[in-house]
């Protein structure tokens, strides 16, 4: 991890565009130890219910989730939180964090955003001096329960990347995690997973642009079927993913 940070710092000295891209890739990577891989976000329950059963139905389900859920909620929060972190607008950051906590539609979804936000803060602390800036910003905000979109936006805000590029990385990291969930829970082969990921990649720019267009009055978290499935997943008898 230290080597990766050294590379990013060096590239920042010589090329802002390269540094921004590398930092976005690093923070959005499923390899970041925040636990995103352990959640299916309702997908495993959709498989159990027979709603998702093959490559095509999985792709359609995830594309819908991208546009109807992520784009209108967490992506929009990240889009607004990055400039707030860069301006050190603590009140705005706290308001966005409260919105995420109060709009999680199930206990499972709330636990996920709290756990991943907490794990990102712990990751920054584990980096020592390398993560000191991120740790200090999170501490100054005094978020009792830092949510993942807000904490991730804090990490992305330290990058020289533009907000749109940061959102593209955030959305692609989400897509990679959910495709792996589909591969394990349906199950599917790796080639099928790559085809689903390709379909999601084609949809991500439009989802990001929609998220960037939303203000506070139009940002929303309303996915009733997903909420029902998440609630069912909390008590599902046999499951691979965390609840």
**157-179 pLDDT per residue, tens:** 999 999 999 999 999 999 999 99
Q: Which residues lie below 8 Å from residue 167, measured CB to CB, with a gap of 6+?
A: 75, 78, 79, 208, 211, 212
Phi then psi dihedrals of residue 33, to 5 deg: -80, 65
pLDDT value of position 65: 97
Q: Report yes or no: 115 and 122 within 8 Å, Cβ to Cβ.
A: no
CB distance 166 to 78 below 8 Å: yes
Per residue in 14-65, pLDDT tens? 466 888 899 999 999 988 999 999 999 999 999 999 999 999 999 999 999 9
In order of 1, 15, 78, 168, 177, the CA distances from 161 in angstroms are 20, 11, 14, 11, 22
What's phi and psi for 48, nearest 5 deg? -60, -35
Number of residues in the chain: 243
pTM: predicted TM-score of the whole model, two decimal places: 0.91
Query: Nearest-5° angle of CA 9, CA 10, CA 15?
Result: 100
What's the CA gap between 39 and 178, in Å, rounded?
8
Q: Is the pLDDT of residue 238 over 90?
A: no
* Mean pLDDT on 58-78: 98
């Amino acid at each position: 991890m230290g080597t990766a940070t050294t590379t990013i710092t060096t590239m920042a000295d010589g090329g802002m565009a390269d540094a921004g891209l590398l930092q976005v890739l690093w923070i959005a990577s499923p390899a970041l130890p925040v636990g995103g891989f352990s959640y299916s976000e309702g997908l495993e329950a959709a498989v159990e219910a027979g709603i998702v059963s093959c490559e095509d139905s999985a792709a359609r389900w995830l594309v819908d989730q991208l546009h109807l859920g992520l784009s209108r909620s967490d992506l929009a929060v990240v889009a607004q939180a990055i400039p707030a972190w860069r301006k050190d607008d603590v009140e705005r950051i706290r308001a966005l964090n409260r919105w995420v906590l109060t709009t999680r539609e199930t206990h499972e979804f709330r636990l996920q955003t709290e756990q991943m936000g907490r794990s990102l803060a712990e990751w920054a602390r584990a980096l020592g001096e390398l993560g000191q800036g991120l740790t200090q910003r999170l501490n100054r905000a005094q978020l009792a329960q830092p949510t993942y979109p807000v904490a991730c936006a804090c990490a992305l805000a330290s990058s020289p990347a533009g907000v749109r590029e940061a959102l593209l990385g955030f959305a692609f990291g989400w897509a990679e995690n959910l495709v792996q969930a589909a591969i394990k829970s349906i199950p599917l082969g790796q080639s099928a997973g790559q085809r689903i990921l390709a379909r999601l990649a084609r949809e991500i720019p439009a989802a990001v642009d929609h998220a960037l267009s939303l203000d506070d009055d139009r940002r929303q978290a309303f996915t009733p079927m997903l909420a029902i499935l998440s609630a069912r997943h909390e008590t599902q008898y046999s499951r691979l993913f965390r609840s």
